[in-house]
Structure 1
């Protein structure tokens, strides 16, 4: 969720100091505030310093006037990073890689739906009407005709992202009705997290310009596939740029297997960062290309950890369990932290999966409460990500889950109101 300040250009000076209260991090997705056990002076609402990162300066091409958007880092008045800020959580993990002379490389994939404007939250979400006048239909993965149905929206997405200096690798039609996927070029995790954040803004605005919504819900429609943010990950030597997952002869290194082992052991503990909402869990339990296991396999899309076909210098691990509704900074931080711990502890992965896996092997926790319980016990991961952040994040997620539990759904009213 983007938060910040808007101002006329003559008020903005990167050398000046801007502030926001730290209470913005104490809100759930619905805007409710949460008391965090053990946090001193929470409601003094201390000011955080906004430090503009001018390397992120980008156009906002959908605005009616010339507009610049800049991502800010958050600091205390003493210049210390705010530990609960998601961008700083990712920076913390990247610093641990740098201490060992390593540089992770990632390439996210952004899946999302174009939908008819949904003005009534009780009404089901529907696919949009394309240029033929017919609503979108599912099961059309990689269809060029399906992409052409929404050509004007896609053209505007390209225009907006090019104006922002963002590079699209490929764009495809996914399996759902009105579902698209944009693949990003590989690079530095912080840069790619910034890009995912900017892409989401641009895609939403491009859709609105054409009278449709773009949604990044993990599972917006009951009988359609969910939307993921698959992330391809490799690690290079910071001095030489060589992929440490491959030997000079092209064979995989022990480090490669240890990254997989760490992912298998620790991603289970970090799922709230990769599947943060009740709706995220619906994607994982609804089948349709969303693996619920943490097995690994070569070119096997039924495994949570897929090893794509590649040249040795591009050997990588694809994390397929992350939902597109995840905060990109936190999802990348979590996935990279799991792999890092595997390399540090030299964790051996389970044997490579052969054939279709689906619900076999090591499964993810079955529900959001189970995921949160596993996260709360992950003391080593809390040290890596930051204890204050993990304490706050857990409190926010528990409050959201409890609020959802109080909701009465249309399904309950439809099937239980007069039948039980």
Structure 2
């Protein structure tokens, strides 16, 4: 057989064309303003939502044409946006809570790594999450995303990298307009009203197949990754688990997931609610947070020793959770309604105990290998601002590690009966946050002052409402 040289084949027209830059295919995030302009252009994006989370996790910001967004436009919000309550009121100045006497502007600084489409809009629309900075460009210390960044930076300074994985529970409920009437479960595709007791039921999820499909579709188009979705114990109560990763990125995802799930639900004629306790006869909704810490240089989990056994840092992290979380609980259970979930004999813990694979404890250590050793904080409720809940949880573990806090013994039996080891109400929780000087260091004093003032204002607003219980039992009996 004679050999012959094989010449290089002629390039096809399609192959000879210059390949499109990778960033144009990205569903989420670009690196530069030039890339942002091109990314928007190829998608025909007409409008941009520049959003930032307020204390409640509500998206605040401005919408504008994409051409204006990329033309170096300065975007601002008044500082009072971060001082009003969930009901839109402005509380009285109390204690160390004060308003900016000029109500000056805070600037929205887009984080281009969060740029994505808004898939439920009819016109081509994109969104970008913004940080809040002063007119001089300095981070505004008390805004939620910056509070979390501050805590993450404390880890970075120690050569640590925190890793988190949130799990978010929520209810689907029938649409209604009158808040005086209790919420009701919706009807599924079978036409029947959904009932409870369907934990991990595939049939329960299938009742809302089309809605769940839209959640997946909307999420995929935004570059959001769902790990798993399950049916929880309550009627039409679902849970979404997110893949572990960087705390700020995961807080961003929870922020966007809440918007996504609400929009998908409305499209199908129901409401999605993240209230901690939307229906009194059923379990509340949590936002469990799995946490581990890596060594920045080696990438290894500092919760495990080289021989695979738990490390001192692991136990100190748990000690910090036990000692500090009850004092920081208001950042994880931020409303009066949150404490209706934290009651004995329900599905959530009411203690500050820890244990191995013990779901009755506040801080559970799941079964895992050494590389995946982690601590699950089971106290946060799904109504919490994801940035603040993650900041609080990580800060408590951090304080435990740097202060060498030794935990109690792990609980080997049920510990969720009898005494409640946590604040029983909003005002008590606010006072505990203010009482520990360590929180002023890790969160910033201005945040503690501002957050406490807003929460007290929300409590006073709640106290203006007369409940059905009061009318039923006090009206003719006292």
Cα shift at 1:73:
0.6
- 1:400 and 1:39 mapped to 2: Cα distance? 14
- Is 1:108 paired with 2:166? yes
C-alpha deviation, 1:286, in angstroms: 5.7
Contact 1:111 1:227 in 2 (8 A): yes
CA distance in 2, matches of 1:352, 1:160: 41
Task: For 1:355-366, list aligned pairs within 5 A.
Answer: 355-359=413-417, 363-366=421-424
The residue number in structure 2 matching 1:20 is 77
Q: Which runs of 5+ in 1 are unaligned?
A: none
The 1-side partners of 2:417 and 2:76 are apart by 48
Q: Secondary structure at the match of 2:446?
A: helix
Secondary structure, in 3 states, of the residue corresponding to 1:79? coil
Q: 1:39: how far off?
A: 6.0
For residue 240 of structure 1, report the CA deviation from its aligned partner. 1.2
Computed over aligned residues only, the root mean square deviation of the Cα atoms, in angstroms, reads 1.4
CA 1:286–1:201: 2 relative to 1, 3 Å: farther
Q: Name 1:77's counterpart in structure 2.
A: 135
Q: Deviations over 1:315-371 (max 9, x none)?
A: 000000000000000000000000000000011000111111103677112222221
Structure 2 unmatched ranges of 5 or more: 1-57
In structure 2, distance between residues paired with 1:40 and 1:129: 47
- Name the CA distance, whole Å, in 2 between partners of 1:367 and 1:71: 32
1:247 aligns to 2:305 (yes or no): yes
Contact 1:232-1:319 at 8 Å conserved across structures: yes
Describe the shift of the 1:41–1:27 C-alpha distance in structure 2 as closer, same or farther (beyond 3 A): closer
Residue equivalent to 2:124: 66
Alignment partner, residue 17 of structure 2: none
* Match of residue 385 from structure 1: 443
Q: Is the 8 A contact 1:293 1:359 kept in 2?
A: no
CA drift at 1:218: 0.3
Q: What residue number does 1:8 align with? A: 65
> By how many angstroms is 1:21 displaced?
0.8
Match in the other structure for 1:216:
274
With over 3 angstroms needed to count, the CA separation of the structure-2 counterparts of 1:163 and 1:402, relative to structure 1, is same
Task: Decide whether aligned partners of structure 1 residues 360 and 98 sit closer, same or farther in structure 2, where only a CA change above 3 A counts.
Answer: farther
> Are the equivalent residues in 2 in contact too, given 1:228–1:321 (CA < 8 A)?
yes
Give the aligned partner of residue 156 of structure 1: 214
Following the alignment from structure 1 to structure 2, what is the Cα–Cα distance between the partners of residues 114 and 14?
41
Q: Distance in 1 between matches of 2:318 and 2:136?
A: 39
| Residue in structure 2 matched with residue 336 of structure 1 by the alignment | 394
Contact 1:294–1:362 (CA under 8 A) maintained in structure 2: no
Seen in structure 2, the aligned counterparts of structure 1 residues 132 and 41 have a Cα distance that, compared at 3 Å, is: closer
Q: Distance in 2 between matches of 1:311 and 1:154?
A: 32
- Quote the residue 1:196 is aligned against: 254
In structure 2, the CA distance between the partners of 1:245 and 1:150, relative to structure 1 (3 Å rule), is same
Please give the residue correspondences for 1:13-412 in structure 2 after superposition, counting only pairs within 5 Å: 13=70, 15-37=72-94, 38=96, 42-285=100-343, 287-359=345-417, 363-412=421-470
SS in structure 2 of the partner of residue 16 of structure 1: coil
Once the two structures are TM-superposed, the CA of residue 16 in structure 1 deviates from its matched residue by 3.0
Indicate how the Cα distance of structure 1 residues 137 and 19 shifts in structure 2: closer, same or farther if over 3 A, else same. same
Instruction: Return closer, same or farther for 1:275/1:195 CA change in 2, 3 Å cut-off.
Output: same
Deviations 1:130-184 (A, max 9, x none): 0111111011100011111111111111110011110100000000011000000
Whole-angstrom CA distance in 1 between matches of 2:407 and 2:191: 51
Question: How many residue pairs were aligned?
Answer: 420
Q: Quick check: 1:294–1:305 contact (8 Å CA) kept in 2?
A: yes
SS state of the match for residue 59, structure 2?
coil
- Cα distance in 2 for residues equivalent to 1:361 and 1:314: 32
How far off is 1:406 after superposition? 2.1
CA-to-partner distance for each residue in 1:261-311, whole Å, 9 max, x for gaps?
001000011011000000000000164211011100000000000000011
Q: Is the 8 A contact 1:110 1:324 kept in 2?
A: yes
Q: Is the 8 A contact 2:174 2:185 kept in 1?
A: yes
- 8 Å CA contact 1:294, 1:361 repeated in 2: no
TM-score normalised by the chain length of structure 2: 0.86
